[in-house]
Amino acid sequence: MVARSAPLVRVVRSGLEESVHLGDVAVCDAAGRLLASAGDPDRLVFVRSCTKPVQAAVAVDAIGLELTDRLVAIMAASHNGEPVHLRAVRDVLRRGDLTEADLQTPPDRPLDGASARRVREPLPVYHNCSGKHAGMLLASTRAGWPTATYRRRSHPLQRRILGAVERLSGADDVAVGIDGCGVPVHGMGLRAVATMYARLSDPDRQGRLAPAVERVVTAMRAEPYLVGGRNRIDTEIMRAVPDILAKEGAEALSCAVALGDG
């Protein structure tokens, strides 16, 4: 409930408090211990695009570890739709003899204003989740799974993603809905979200997914501009702060982990 949320930011203009921004914070270690909090650390949220590092790791596990940092990073991105992002998405698709017609992202315009002004009509490839979808399609072709149904909760890839989310978060009651891009989205308390991110830096808690998680983390750190783009907070955090993995999601959710600290 918002009633339990804490004031995180106060905006003061000429000595007068003009507005207060409320929020909820949970800081956990890889064991799931709550180290710090503000507001309600167990507030239920859909993890939205903050799940993308895990979704990308499951896809990489099916594809193989040979993809370049650039292609792996775009699979974990909520990208701006700038030319550099679109080239990467198309390159992922080409790896599986796929085309933009295979993408089931809703048609959209680029998030980046300058890029949006250059396009004539909304297209699936412009959607900020198109890299994730391209990765899911490539994973499905490599594993021999159907590509036409890759968004369905019953699809083998989506079942593996749910299992990885449950294992890394430690949550045993993960809710499943439909994200804005059409794939399953996972809901849990903030404490579980924080635990999931802490475990991205702890290979001992990642099971068979450990090599793929390491590959995704390395790629996101190496190619932060692919993860978001111009004026995007996760891109700027990873550019500015060594050994931090950051990813933003919809509805003001933002996650980060200090790599190596658990």
Residue 262 confidence (pLDDT) above 70? no
Domain boundaries, the chain: 46-189+211-247
Residue 196 confidence (pLDDT) above 90? yes
**Helix, strand or coil, per DSSP, at residue 133:** helix
pLDDT of residue 260: 78
* Residue closest to 127 by CA, chosen among 167, 181, 83: 181
Dihedral pair phi/psi, residue 27, rounded to 5°: -120, 120
Report, as an integer, the average pLDDT of 160-165: 98
pLDDT tens, position by position, 87-124? 999 999 999 999 999 999 999 999 999 999 999 999 99
pTM: 0.95
Average predicted confidence (pLDDT) for the chain: 97
Q: How far is CA 7 from CA 60, 113, 208, 249, 255, in A?
A: 39, 31, 40, 20, 18
* Residue closest to 226 by CA, chosen among 92, 62, 97, 64: 92
pLDDT of residue 193: 99
Which two three-digit tokens encode residue 14? 């000429």
Query: Residue 259: what residue type?
Result: L
Please name every residue paired with 260 in a beta bridge, in sequence order, or none if there are none: none
Residue 161 confidence (pLDDT) above 90? yes
